[in-house]
């Protein structure tokens, strides 16, 4: 008996010693603790048929879910760019970076966010800059095609509030891209990021119908994503009166987990009950400002809700801007080949989730 106690004591001593000297990390002692993320920044060669898009092909909406060419539910796990009209967004939208996201982050979808009015956005800038923005979208679409990733083209309304404000410009833009990418099955269209400023669902619907009509002239089946009232939060409202007459329409909700908690998750649950097809094209664990503290426990609740219902999502944003939402540290100066040390806390959390 004494011997056993002595032995146990000795074992504890060795363990404490090992911990103190860093031989065994506390994480290694917790059962099923997630392995720390290690990124090499290296790229892999993957045959197209083995890529996510290569396997799943053109997507369709069935019930509340996205399904692949075989009718099987698929879940998009994506990253959103910051604005491609921003110096903290544009440089990171390149083929090598997207390949890093595919090969080491577990990402299968990339969202190209193009602001319409904020910060010299598409609607308020000159023709030369507009051309650059269109070229940047093209870089993402081509990279996505080569890498077998889905690409969402996002008409990023924000300060313009009401999508109707730039409706004719939106129609001209979507005519251009829907025509250009008519043969590309990996492209999805998001026609109004976040309606706000009290814009009613009825108004958004009227805008959506006019833009959907334009896209459908060139592409009968591409997935079209419609934003919902109050910064894409009121999917419950949209679910009471969805858009009729078109297939493959999805509705977006956004959350910033430190601000948006149970009451917002309840909106999503209501929309699901009402059979609205949902996608979360923007989220982060920080506050709605894109800054402030993280709430990973709220973010985990969102993740379980989305995973349970196979809802696709994109995390805001692939940037090194000094703000909490950025997936890269502000000290990260590289625009591809990201290593472990380049990831922010948010970036590390995301990669751990996506790799699972
Ligand atoms: C934020 C950016 C920030 C920028 C701001 C205004 O992170 O750097 O200064 O926009 O352009 C959204 C918007 C998204 C916001 C993000 C964080 O869709 O454009 O990005 N957010 O505030 N909705 C909720 C949060």
Residue having the nearest C-alpha atom to atom 16 of ligand 1: 290
Instruction: Determine if ligand 1 sits within 6 Å of the CB of residue 118.
Output: yes
Residue-wise pLDDT tens digits, 213-264 = 999 999 999 999 999 999 999 999 999 999 999 999 999 999 999 999 999 9
Residue having the nearest C-alpha atom to atom 4 of ligand 1: 290
Q: How many CA atoms lie within 13 A of 102 on its CB side?
A: 29
Instruction: Determine if ligand 1 sits within 6 Å of the CB of residue 194.
Output: yes
For the annotated catalytic residues, the residue numbers are 194, 282
**Cα gap 125→123, rounded to integer Å:** 6
**Cα gap 72→92, rounded to integer Å:** 32
Sequential pLDDT tens for the chain (356 residues): 445 444 455 445 444 444 444 444 443 343 344 458 899 999 999 999 999 999 999 999 999 999 999 999 999 999 999 999 999 999 999 999 999 999 999 999 999 999 999 999 999 999 999 999 999 999 999 999 999 999 999 999 999 999 999 999 999 999 999 999 999 999 999 999 999 999 999 999 999 999 999 999 999 999 999 999 999 999 999 999 999 999 999 999 999 999 999 999 999 999 999 999 999 999 999 999 999 999 999 999 999 999 999 999 999 999 999 999 999 999 999 999 999 999 999 999 999 999 98
**Cα gap 274→236, rounded to integer Å:** 8
Q: Residue 141's closest CA among 81, 71, 198, 82?
A: 81
Q: Residue 188's closest CA among 214, 222, 156?
A: 222
Instruction: Determine if ligand 1 sits within 6 Å of the CB of residue 321.
Output: yes
Tell which one of 80, 89, 121, 158 to mutate to probe ligand 1, the residue whose CB is within 8 A of the most ligand atoms: 158
Residue-wise pLDDT tens digits, 83-136 = 999 999 999 999 999 999 999 999 999 999 999 999 999 999 999 999 999 999
């Amino acid at each position: 008996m004494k011997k056993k106690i002595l032995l146990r004591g000795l074992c504890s001593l060795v363990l404490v010693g090992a911990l103190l000297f860093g031989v065994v990390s506390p994480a290694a002692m917790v059962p099923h603790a997630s392995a720390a993320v290690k990124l090499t920044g290296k790229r892999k060669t993957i045959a197209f048929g083995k890529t996510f898009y290569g396997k799943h092909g053109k997507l369709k909406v069935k019930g509340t879910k996205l399904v692949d060419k075989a009718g099987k539910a698929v879940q998009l796990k994506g990253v959103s760019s910051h604005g491609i009209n921003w110096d903290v967004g544009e440089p990171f939208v390149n083929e090598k970076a997207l390949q890093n996201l595919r090969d080491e982050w577990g990402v299968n979808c990339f969202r190209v966010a193009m602001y319409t009015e904020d910060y010299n956005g598409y609607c308020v800038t000159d023709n030369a800059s507009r051309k650059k923005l269109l070229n940047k979208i093209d870089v993402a679409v081509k990279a996505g095609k080569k890498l077998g990733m889905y690409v969402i083209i996002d008409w990023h309304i924000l300060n313009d509030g009401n999508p109707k404000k730039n409706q004719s410009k939106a129609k001209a833009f979507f005519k251009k891209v829907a025509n250009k990418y008519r043969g590309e099955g990996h492209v999805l269209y998001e026609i109004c990021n976040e309606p706000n400023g009290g814009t009613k669902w009825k108004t958004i619907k009227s805008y959506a119908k006019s833009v959907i009509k334009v896209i459908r002239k060139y592409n009968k089946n591409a997935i079209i994503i419609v934003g919902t009232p109050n910064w894409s939060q009121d999917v419950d409202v949209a679910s009471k009166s969805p858009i009729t007459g078109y297939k493959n329409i999805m509705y977006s909700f956004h959350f910033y987990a430190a601000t948006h908690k149970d009451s917002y998750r309840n909106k999503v649950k209501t929309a699901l009950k009402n059979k609205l097809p949902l996608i979360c094209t923007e989220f982060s664990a920080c506050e709605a400002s894109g800054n402030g503290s993280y709430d990973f426990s709220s973010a985990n609740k969102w993740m379980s809700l989305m995973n349970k219902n196979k809802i696709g999502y994109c995390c805001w944003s692939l940037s090194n801007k000094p703000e909490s939402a950025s997936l890269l540290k502000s000290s990260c100066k590289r625009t591809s080949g990201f290593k472990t040390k380049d990831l922010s806390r948010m970036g590390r959390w995301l990669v751990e989730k996506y790799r699972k």
